[in-house]
Structure 1
């Protein structure tokens, strides 16, 4: 079993185009840069998603194409927010939203995702429709939270990326599943980095 998985992984690596590898590297760079609250993260995200838009379109995955286009728009919005908007300050200075605020959005998005999933299940031949829909809806929400420098975005990404590891691996996309496992590790790194910065800022404020 392990030998078969390793063989499949090696075949997928060999078959992966330089364009796809570029998108993957930039996607990883995006998370690392976001962990350090660097504006460059949005450039990496925009270029990565632009490449993925082309790849998804040529593969005739039109919903994924639209999702990548939305991510490009969010990258532009995130850059503007971090450069000029309310999130231009360090994340330690951004007021966190209450747990009740998150609860209301979770309930609302759960109902929205359920409606979309039911429609897709009824009118399309989409596979893994429930997992695919919920991960998509909450990914967009988590991305929006990141544009506002809300620490809670990382908690959402922990759950989302864990589901993506299972979803892609179960569909035979071993490399993509491995990529999201790397994302999981990077999310823990981002949480540690943001929390460390927050602690340092609090110590500086106390000593000042």
Structure 2
């Protein structure tokens, strides 16, 4: 789709948006902006936004995306608790990094689960884009956990996920949601820069040394 066609679709879609979708989109942006600032109130915005998106995605037959948002609601509660209590009373929860082996395990798990669920959806449901939907879903599952644990590299994962999500949502006629993920893509870059500066400011090395897979939290 050309840039002009995409813009026209966005304008047309805006005129037919429900108040629920507008609310979900705005709260999703609030969530991400607060997450960049490491403000735990981001999880409250996430809880409400994902509850709305759960219903919206079900209506357009993006079954994995609907299920993903149920998971997001649970992670919003976990993220609120962990950002508030995970530092054991030693101030704000610190940003950490995963070693390369931990990332290899995470990526392998995402691909495996995407193939399994995509195969099932393709043969037993009317789901649209079953493999792409599955990859985005399982990638987001892992990456949301990384956000809740304040793992720096979550922003790099989101850059890939959001790029793919733009294609998926444009295909399903959800132009505003696609635009939301385009904004997510930009904010993900800002998030990486902001969190990396904070990580360095607290005396950490630019990158973790090779070694055993550990979660420093």
Q: Under TM normalisation by the shorter chain, which class is it?
A: 0.7 to 0.9
Q: Which residue of 2 aligns with 1:190?
A: 191
Tell me, in whole angstroms, the C-alpha distance in 1 between the residues paired with 2:195 and 2:54: 30
Cα offset, 1:63, TM superposition: 4.5
Q: TM-score, normalised by structure 2?
A: 0.83
Structure 2 residue 49 is matched with structure 1 residue 43: no
Pair 1:2–1:73, CA change in 2 (3 A)? closer
Whether the 8 Å contact between 1:81 and 1:87 is mirrored in structure 2 is: no
Q: Which residue of 1 aligns with 2:169?
A: 168
Q: Which residue of 1 aligns with 2:207?
A: none
Cα offset, 1:128, TM superposition: 1.1
Structure 2 unmatched runs, 5+ = 205-217
Tell me, in whole angstroms, the C-alpha distance in 2 between the residues paired with 1:28 and 1:59: 22
Whether the 8 Å contact between 1:30 and 1:44 is mirrored in structure 2 is: yes
Pair 1:2–1:199, CA change in 2 (3 A)? closer
Tell me, in whole angstroms, the C-alpha distance in 2 between the residues paired with 1:192 and 1:186: 10
Structure 1 unmatched runs, 5+ = 204-208
Pair 1:67–1:141, CA change in 2 (3 A)? same
Pair 1:3–1:103, CA change in 2 (3 A)? closer
Q: Deviations over 1:91-132 (max 9, x none)?
A: 6x4442210111022112211221111111122232211111
Q: TM-score, normalised by structure 1?
A: 0.86
Q: CA RMSD in A?
A: 2.3
Tell me, in whole angstroms, the C-alpha distance in 1 between the residues paired with 2:61 and 2:6: 27
Tell me, in whole angstroms, the C-alpha distance in 2 between the residues paired with 1:42 and 1:156: 19
Q: Which residue of 1 aligns with 2:134?
A: 133
